[in-house]
Chain A
Amino acid sequence: MDRRHFLTLTTALAATGVIGQPLTARAAQPYAGQRVSVLLEGHPTSDAIQKLLPEFKELTGIDVELEIIPEQDITAKMLLEFSSKSGRYDIVQNNIIYIKGFADAGYIVPLDDLLKANPDHYDKADFVPGYIDTAMSDGKLYGLPVYGESTFLMYRKDLFEQHGIAVPKSFDDIEAAAKTISEKTNKEIAGITMRGQQGIQGVYVWAAYLWGMGGSFLDEAGKSALGTPEAAKALEAFARVLRDYGPVGVANFGWEENRLLFQQGKAAMTLDATVNGAYNEDPAASTIVGKVGYVPVPMQADKPKGGSSSLAVHCMFVSADSQVKDAAAVFASWATAKAQQIKSVKSDPNSGVTSLGAMADEEFVKRYGAFKDAMLQAIGQGNPQYLPTVPQANEIINNTGIAVSKALAGTATAAEALKEADAANQAALSK
Chain B
Amino acid sequence: MNQDATRYFYQPVLIFLGAVSLVLTAYVTWLTLNDLSLMKPQAQKFVGLDNYWRLLTDARGLGALWRTALFTIAVTTIEILLGLAIVLYLDREFKGRRLVRALLLVPIIMTPVVVGLTWRFMFDPSTGMVNYVLSLLGQDRPMDWLGNPAIALFAVMIADIWQWTPFVALLTLAALEALPTDPLDAARVDGAKEWQVTFYVLLPMLKRALLIVALIRAIDSVKAFDLFYIMTRGGPALSTETLNLYGYIAAFTNFDVSYAMTIALVLTVVTNIALLAVYGVMFPARNEARA
Contact = CB atoms under 8 A, between A and B. Distances in A.
State yes or no: do A and B touch (Cβ within 8 Å): yes
A398 B149 contact: no
B140 to A, nearest CB: 12
Interface string B243-255: 0000001011111
Contacts of B38: 76, 79-80, 83
A394 interface: yes
Interface in B12-61: 35, 37-42, 59-60
Contacts of B163: none
Contacts of A28: none
Given A79-B255, A249-B125, A105 B238 contact: no
Interface in B221-272: 232-239, 249, 251-256
A198 B228 CA distance: 14
Given A398-B249, A398-B254, A198 B39 contact: no
A196 interface: yes
Contacts of A411: 149, 237, 239
Contact of A395 (B35, B146, B254): B254
A137 interface: no
Given A79-B38, A248-B144, A392-B39, A196 B236 contact: yes
Nearest 8 interchain pairs by C-beta: A198-B235, A251-B147, A249-B125, A83-B41, A406-B237, A409-B237, A251-B236, A395-B254
A409 B239 contact: yes
A431 interface: yes
A68 B232 CA distance: 24
Given A249-B124, A252-B236, A431-B37, 14 more contacts: A76-B255, A83-B41, A198-B237, A199-B233, A199-B235, A250-B147, A252-B146, A252-B235, A392-B39, A405-B236, A405-B237, A408-B237, A409-B148, A431-B35
A203 B236 CA distance: 13
Contacts of A73: 252
A398 B253 contact: yes
A411 B150 CA distance: 9
Contacts of A198: 233-238
A79 B148 CA distance: 34
Query: Would you call the interface of chain B mostly helix, strand, loop, or mixed?
Result: loop
Given A248-B125, A248-B126, A391-B40, A409 B254 contact: no
B107 interface: no
Nearest to B251: A76
Contacts of A350: none
15 contacts: A79-B39, A79-B255, A196-B236, A197-B233, A197-B236, A198-B233, A198-B234, A249-B125, A252-B232, A394-B253, A394-B254, A394-B255, A395-B254, A431-B35, A431-B37
B237 A252 contact: no
B239 A248 contact: no
B112 interface: no
Contact of A251 (B39, B126, B142, B148): B148
A226 interface: no
B40 A105 contact: yes
A36 B144 CA distance: 47
B36 to A, nearest CB: 9
A58 to B, nearest CB: 38
Contacts of A431: 35, 37
Contacts of A83: 38, 41
A402 interface: yes
Nearest to B59: A420
A101 B39 contact: yes
A395 B256 contact: yes
Contacts of B254: 394-395, 398, 428
A83 B256 CA distance: 13
Q: Which of B60, B234, B251, B255 has the most CB of A within 10 A?
A: B255
A337 to B, nearest CB: 32
A101 B234 CA distance: 27
A398 B256 CA distance: 13
A237 B14 CA distance: 61
